Every structure is written in C-alpha cells, then in structure tokens.
Amino acid sequence: MTGESGPKQPARFVVVGIGADGWSGLSARARAALDEATTVYGSARQLDLVAEHLTADTVPWRSPMSEHLREVLCDSSAHGTIHVLASGDPMFHGIGSTIVRQVGRDRVTIVPAPSSVSLAAAELGWDLASTTIVSTVTAPASAVVPELGDGIRLLVLSRDGSTPAEIAELCRAHGYGWTTMRVLENLGAATQAVRTGLARSWDDRPCAPLNITALDCVGPSSSHCPGLPDEAYEHDGQLTKQTVRALSVSALAPAAGQLLWDVGAGAGSIGIEWLRCTRDGRAVAFEADRLRAAALRRNAEKLGVGHRLTLAGAVPEALAGAADPDAVFLGGGVDRDVLDTAWDALMPGGRIVGNAVAIETQHLFIDAQERYGGSLTRLSVERAAPLGRLTAWRPALPIVQWVAVKDDAAREDT
C-alpha cells in the first residue's frame, strides 16, 4: 500500500541583506544561505553582484517591483525556500519588513547586513542615537521639511540621484541655506565618494543613484508644537488663527499612527499641524471649495506633510468613503447630521473637537455636549493693535469649543 504524503507546506523566505561591495562583504552566514538557495530574487544590480557565486536560478524583479513581490508572496503553489536579496538591513525601510507583514514572522528568516545609515554614520563619525533619519524612497523630498532645525543632524535616504538637489532647494526655501550637505555615494563599494557643499550653493548635477544625503542644519530653530504663524499658510480668510489653532490641536491630542478627520478644513491648518506633531499620523481633509482645496494641498506640501494628507470632498457625502478616524476636528460646514456621522465613525477612545463662531453652530455643540458628554469652553483672544498713535486691545470673535472623548457605553441612542 502506497502511503500518501501530507499537504505541502507554504514557501518559506530567506531575506539576505547585501551591500554595494557584493559577495566580498557578505558574512559567512549570508554566503551559506545563498549557497543553499535554489531560487534567488533581487534587483538586476544586486544579482549581478553575486551571480558568479550562485548555482541557484536568479529572477530579477519586474517593474513595478511591488506588484511582482506581491505575486511571489501570494503564489499558493510555491513551496520550499525562496531567497530574496535586500539592500543592507532588510528590516530598515527594507523588503524584509514587507515580507514579514505579508506572510508572518514564522515563515521568514532575516540575514542582515549593515544598513546604509550605519555605513553613513561610520563615515561621518555621527552618533546614530542622536541623528534623525528621513526616507524619501517612498515619500517626497518635502518630507524633510518638518525635521529641519538649527543644530539638527539628518540622514536622508535618497530616492535617486536627483534627490540631493531637491533637498538643497528645500533648505534654501525654508531658511537653511547655510546647512552643510554631504552626499555619500555608493557606500561600501570601490566607487564610494563623498560630495560636500552648502545648501545655498549646492551643485545641482545628479549624484550616483545610490546615495544618502547628510545635513548638518544651520538656520531657524524648529518645533513640532502646534501654533505656526498665520503667515505660514496660503488662505482666503478661512483659517483657524494661531492661538486657537494651538489650543485646538492640543485638545485633539495627536498620537503616533492615528488618523484625523479635518471636517470643513479651509486652509488645512488644523490637519497640517496635527500631522507635524507625529511622524506617521495621517489625515483626511474634507473641503468642498475647489480653490480652498487647492490652496490646502499647496500648504500641506510646502510644510512637508502632503504625502500623509488625503483630500476629500464635501460632507456629508465624502464621510462615507473615509476610514474610521481616531480623532475628528469639526470646523466649517457642520450640521447635526455631519456631527452625528462623525461621532458614530469615531473609534472608541477617540477625541472630537469642534470650534464654533456662529451662534447656531454654538447651539449645535451645546446640544452635542448634552447628548455625548465632554466639555464646553468659550475662548476669547485679544491682540494689541494700533489705535491712532496709541495701542489698544482688538478682540477677535469669541469661539465656543466642544471637546469629547468617545465612550460607546455612555453614548445616548438618538
């Protein structure tokens, strides 16, 4: 009687980090892993570095690589062990993290090499523990902007050879022209080189595609605290002013990994400063006016958070297609239906903040406080301004602010 074999186990993945120095820079463990390989995936450049040492079949990634990788990871007919080459440390902005998320930790073995930032820090003599890392591989170069600050050291993972010139332009535009820039090209390879200069006079010739840009920032001091000057925003008057904006964003209590709904966003200042408070927060800005939405997009990109902000249309229609938020800000264009829809979508433990100038909207928030709880605060701000040859206090319109934290058990059915 012929025995039946059990079901085949799904494929396992071995992810091997490799530097620009190729086979010679691999550890004994990494070489042993590749010696055992039957199929190796990697970029054409990576495969060329080790091709003469492999007996395995090699498969270069097709473009776009993300789709090809998805096919490999989701191939239910694949069995045995599949090897994948990764740049440097696969778990640092690398393909290793993607594979683990997709198939689970138990099916993945990681064999790391030094990351590009480790090599850069060693070359520069910088302490990585006190150095800020920014990646423009999956984000625009403007992601650097919120991290600029006098005395700050940044290592920027470049998308390609044009990224350093983009960074230099951003430094100049935001007052950091005297920042020292060093572009470290082909780290670890025989062709390794370092280009040094000031952002204000940076040579815009393309660098090697494999590079890291190091910034030793000189310019204005910087803070992620809310309350940027009103002049930082392009607007048509629909702008939450600086003092009230700082109080409102603080009331929203931004936290890592959260999603904000900015309803009636206007110039986008609340959502933008929410995003500046965390490095991985996201926001959906709901704005019906086309011209305001365009200005909002420009504001977000100028201030370095455009890649984490999604523009949506008018409420309440656009609310239905948005992911459930961790926090909600209610600005312009709010009625009871919009408020209740936002409250119902808000995640348990989430915070909602509403600002009202008009008496009708103030009554809406007073009613909401009675139904959902929370606190009501009346904010009055006065600024010193000229009065002829003298100075007087000029009051702004008072604002009623409603703040509540959602507790499903305490919600009143309506």
Band of pLDDT at residue 153, cut at 50, 70 and 90: very high
pTM: 0.87
Could you tell me the pLDDT band of residue 6, with boundaries at 50, 70 and 90?
low
Question: In the prediction, which pLDDT does 78 show?
Answer: 83
- In tens, the pLDDT along 274-299 reads 999 999 999 999 999 999 999 999 99
Local confidence band at 8 (pLDDT 50, 70, 90 cut-offs): confident
- Distance separating alpha carbons of residues 157 and 93, to the nearest angstrom: 9
Give me the mean pLDDT over the 62-87 stretch. Answer: 92
Q: How far apart are CA 200 and CA 190, in angstroms?
A: 30
Q: State pLDDT tens for residues 316-357.
A: 999 998 999 999 999 988 999 999 999 999 999 999 999 999
| Distance in angstroms between the alpha carbons of the first and the last residue of the chain | 69
1 pLDDT higher than 60: no
Q: What value does the mean pLDDT take over residues 139-149?
A: 96
Q: How far is CA 194 from CA 123, 158, 202, 203, 211, in A?
A: 9, 14, 13, 13, 9
Side-chain half-sphere CA neighbours of 111 within 13 A: 20
Six-digit token string for 86: 């990764």
Tell me if 80 sits within 8 A of 12, measured CB to CB. Answer: yes
Yes or no: say if 380 and 402 are a contact pair by the CB < 8 Å rule.
Answer: no
Question: What is the pLDDT confidence band of residue 5, given thresholds at 50, 70 and 90?
Answer: low
d(CA 127, CA 260): 34
Average pLDDT on 140-148 reads 96
How confident is the model over 221-240, as pLDDT tens digits?
Answer: 988 999 999 999 999 988 99
Q: pLDDT at position 300, please?
A: 97
